[in-house]
Amino acid sequence: MSGRPLDVLEASLNEPVTVQLKDGTSYFGTLAGYDQHMNVVLEESLGDDDDALVGGLDVEEVEDTTIIRGDNVVTITA
Amino acid sequence: MSGRPLDVLEASLNEPVTVQLKDGTSYFGTLAGYDQHMNVVLEESLGDDDDALVGGLDVEEVEDTTIIRGDNVVTITA
Amino acid sequence: MSGRPLDVLEASLNEPVTVQLKDGTSYFGTLAGYDQHMNVVLEESLGDDDDALVGGLDVEEVEDTTIIRGDNVVTITA
Amino acid sequence: MSGRPLDVLEASLNEPVTVQLKDGTSYFGTLAGYDQHMNVVLEESLGDDDDALVGGLDVEEVEDTTIIRGDNVVTITA
Amino acid sequence: MSGRPLDVLEASLNEPVTVQLKDGTSYFGTLAGYDQHMNVVLEESLGDDDDALVGGLDVEEVEDTTIIRGDNVVTITA
Amino acid sequence: MSGRPLDVLEASLNEPVTVQLKDGTSYFGTLAGYDQHMNVVLEESLGDDDDALVGGLDVEEVEDTTIIRGDNVVTITA
Amino acid sequence: MSGRPLDVLEASLNEPVTVQLKDGTSYFGTLAGYDQHMNVVLEESLGDDDDALVGGLDVEEVEDTTIIRGDNVVTITA
């Protein structure tokens, strides 16, 4: 899952990701979409992905389809 | 309602959305329009959408047609 | 008065609008012009539009022709 | 003196204007030039324009030719 | 490893780098990718690179594939 | 020395200018160059220009060739 | 070493420079590269350039190849 940043996002579609924002909050969900500005769409993550939150503080697990505007993003961890 | 960020906005037209801004405020209303900068237009939400506000703190329900400039947006939840 | 953000501005020409800025101030006046950056021009609002200010705190009613640079704008309410 | 923002600047050439900046300061002078970024050039205002400063707090009247970079501007009042 | 900034990034692919962010944090990992905005992809650094952390305070060693959005970056040290 | 902002910079080449930055500091020197982003180059000002500093607080007189990145600039006074 | 900002950078290649950042820190090193965004590459400065640090507070002398993203730069002194 290495390569250029947008290649990593493409490879992470339908996979769980954690998006850390500049305001200190983080969102966890399934990556449903993205664009070249790193705007991303997260959806509720189903299945056995709960371990991705181990040790995660201040991480909000999205319940509804959530668009995050790219200029807020610090990191996206796949 | 998954896909690229602008596809999600297109699919959310005339649907209730919550727009969270960088200043900590949030706006709730019906998505009446948007553009490629994520500038959005919200209108008063009518009907049985009140449950969308359950648990919502600091969410302002728009009463008049409201343009929100995209660079203020953190998340848009459909 | 719904549609894309710039369509809403076009439809609001010569109508009273309230422009909320990132510094917490708001300006009330008649929309005399705008451009694609959401730079706007407000002029003194005449007539019976006083009710638009009901409940409005910290809203400055413009007296002279006022250009507001778009990157300061949070919301424009028509 | 209504119209699009740059039209208002064009119409204000050689006229006294007040430019309010994001840092809370304001500059008063004659508009000697501008460009599409709202960079402006102010020069000392001569004549009977002193009344433009009535009630103006923290307004600096320019004495030398002063370029103001547009991204600092909040409002320009003609 | 000198040259233009993107040339240095190209030469650093698959090498350990430290990325210092505007929020004061730093990330250490193997550079797996980058683009023209200085968005970068870091992966866990294996091998005998532990000495790169000597004296490094507040440096987070990435464990999962991590995209860092370029506008957060202050320095990248190869 | 009036006109569009870049015309004023062109006319100020090899003349003493004061550049005020967003962080509250100011630089005084001879304008040796500029570009369309208002990036400027200052050099030590020689000669009888000392009066330009009268009343100037927090103004640093450049001694070495100094490039100032344009996005820091608030005003340039010729 | 006068001229347009990028000309000054070109003339400073392989010369010692001091780069002052918006966060108050400064970096000293040999300019190994740059691009049109004022992203710069610094390398350890060898030789008799130690006098460039006289009086320099908070100046970090780079030891490893360091890319500095241009939007952090306030000044570059050659």
Which residues of chain E are under the pLDDT cut of 50? 1, 51, 54
Q: Is the pTM of this model over 0.80?
A: yes
Look-up: residue for tokens 């596809």?
B7
The answer to whether the Cβ–Cβ distance between D5 and C66 falls below 8 Å is no
Pairwise CA distance, residues E60 & E18, whole Å: 9
The answer to whether the Cβ–Cβ distance between E1 and G65 falls below 8 Å is yes
Q: Which residues contact D54 (CB under 8 A, 6 or more apart)?
A: none
Pairwise CA distance, residues G4 & F34, whole Å: 5
Pairwise CA distance, residues F8 & C15, whole Å: 38
Q: Which residues of chain B have a CB within 8 Å of the CB of A33? A: 2-5, 7-8
In angstroms, the separation between the Cα of residue D5 and the nearest Cα of chain F is 16
Q: Is E20 on the interface with A (CB under 8 A)?
A: no
Pairwise CA distance, residues G39 & E4, whole Å: 8
Q: With touching defined as 3+ CB pairs under 8 A, do chains D and A touch?
A: no
Predicted confidence band of residue D37 (pLDDT cuts 50, 70, 90): very high
pLDDT for B2? 67
- F59, F27 in Cβ contact below 8 A? yes
Q: Which residues of chain B have a CB within 8 Å of the CB of C2? A: 32-33, 41, 43, 65
Written as six digits, the tokens of C73 are 């704008």
Write out the DSSP string of B10-28. HHTTTSEEEEEETTS-EEE
pLDDT for F58? 75
Look-up: residue for tokens 């600047």?
D9
Predicted confidence band of residue A57 (pLDDT cuts 50, 70, 90): low
Q: Which residues of chain E have a CB within 8 Å of the CB of A5? A: 33-35, 39-41, 67
pLDDT digits (tens, 9 = 90+) for E7-20: 999 999 999 999 99
| A10: number of Cβ within 10 Å | 13
The answer to whether the Cβ–Cβ distance between A35 and B74 falls below 8 Å is no
For Cα atoms G49, G51, G53, give the angle at the middle one, nearest 5 degrees: 100
pLDDT for F54? 46
What count of CB pairs under 8 Å joins B to C? 58
Q: Which residues contact E57 (CB under 8 A, 6 or more apart)?
A: none
Distance of CA G6 to the CA centre of its chain: 13
Predicted confidence band of residue D54 (pLDDT cuts 50, 70, 90): very low
Distance of CA E37 to the CA centre of its chain: 14
pLDDT digits (tens, 9 = 90+) for A5-34: 999 999 999 999 999 999 999 999 999 999
What count of CB pairs under 8 Å joins D to F? 58
The answer on pLDDT for A64 being more than 70 is: yes
The answer on pLDDT for D1 being more than 60 is: no
Higher pLDDT: F58 or A73? It is: A73
The answer on pLDDT for A51 being more than 50 is: no
Pairwise CA distance, residues E73 & E23, whole Å: 9
Q: Is C59 on the interface with B (CB under 8 A)?
A: no
Pairwise CA distance, residues A42 & B2, whole Å: 8
Predicted confidence band of residue A47 (pLDDT cuts 50, 70, 90): low
Q: Which residues of chain E have a CB within 8 Å of the CB of A20? A: none
Q: Which of A53-57, D13-17, F25-29 has the lowest mean pLDDT?
A: A53-57
Chains with ≥3 Cβ pairs under 8 A against C?
Answer: B, D
Helix (H) or strand (E) holding E32: strand E26-34
Q: Is E69 on the interface with A (CB under 8 A)?
A: yes
In angstroms, the separation between the Cα of residue F47 and the nearest Cα of chain D is 20
The answer on pLDDT for G16 being more than 90 is: yes
The answer on pLDDT for C74 being more than 50 is: yes
The answer on pLDDT for D28 being more than 70 is: yes
